[in-house]
Amino acid sequence: MARFLKLLVIVPLAILFLIFAFANRHFVTVSFDPFASGDIPAFAIQAPLFIVLIGAIAIGVLAGGSATWLAQGKYRRAARAGRAEADKWRAEAERAKAQAIAPAVPSTHF
């Protein structure tokens, strides 16, 4: 069922992506030189428009994901500490339970 739902989402997105790519395949120039004097920038890339747009979206997703991951570091650290403490107390409870259940072995003195 999950596989079907995944396909139900991915297939229409793939079709939209292909339609977008075919409709925007003309080349554009992306310049990284803010001080260019004239028509020839020092550093520029020519690529199809759909690659430029999808690349910009991918960079934005990566930057947003990285920022979120870094911002949530203190919560992950607190969760690890809480998990370690819970494991410690769980082991302590198991030891106490094992000692309480262990049958008393009568000692025989000769």
Of 12 and 34, the structure prediction assigns the larger pLDDT to: 12
pTM of the model: 0.63
Q: Are 59 and 33 in contact (CB under 8 A)?
A: no
Q: Percent of the chain, pLDDT > 70?
A: 92
List pLDDT tens digits, range 90-104.
Answer: 999 999 988 888 665
Query: Phi/psi of residue 40, each to 5°?
Result: -110, 105
DSSP 39: S
